[in-house]
Amino acid sequence: MPKFVAWGHYCENVLERRAPHRAAHLTRLQALKESGALITLGPTEDLSRFFGVYAADDATAARTLIEEDPYWQNGIWIDYELWPWIQAF
């Protein structure tokens, strides 16, 4: 299955703003990981950006995986870029 790399930014005051949505976000990520749709995802150390690798049929499906996340829907993730990725090993 094709893979896609996502890089995006968090909102300001991310620690406070994410709190009401964190449990739903983590539960969803666990389900995506178990289904094979999520390879990895996490923040940069300074909590300014997030990085993720998704497995999806195409870029539209990968965007849907991102945009259905509670962090996207509630403005915790404020933007992202998506690139097709070739896993070398």
Number of domains in the chain: 1
Question: What distance lies between CA 59 and its chain's CA centroid?
Answer: 14
> What is the domain extent for residue 18?
3-85
For position 89, what pLDDT does the model report? Answer: 87
CATH number, domain containing residue 38: 3.30.70.1060
Query: What pTM value is reported for the model?
Result: 0.93
For the stretch 6-32, pLDDT in tens is 999 999 999 999 999 999 999 999 999
Per-residue three-class SS string for 16-42 = HHHHHHHHHHHHHHHHHHHHCCEEEEE
For the stretch 53-82, pLDDT in tens is 999 999 999 999 999 999 999 999 999 999
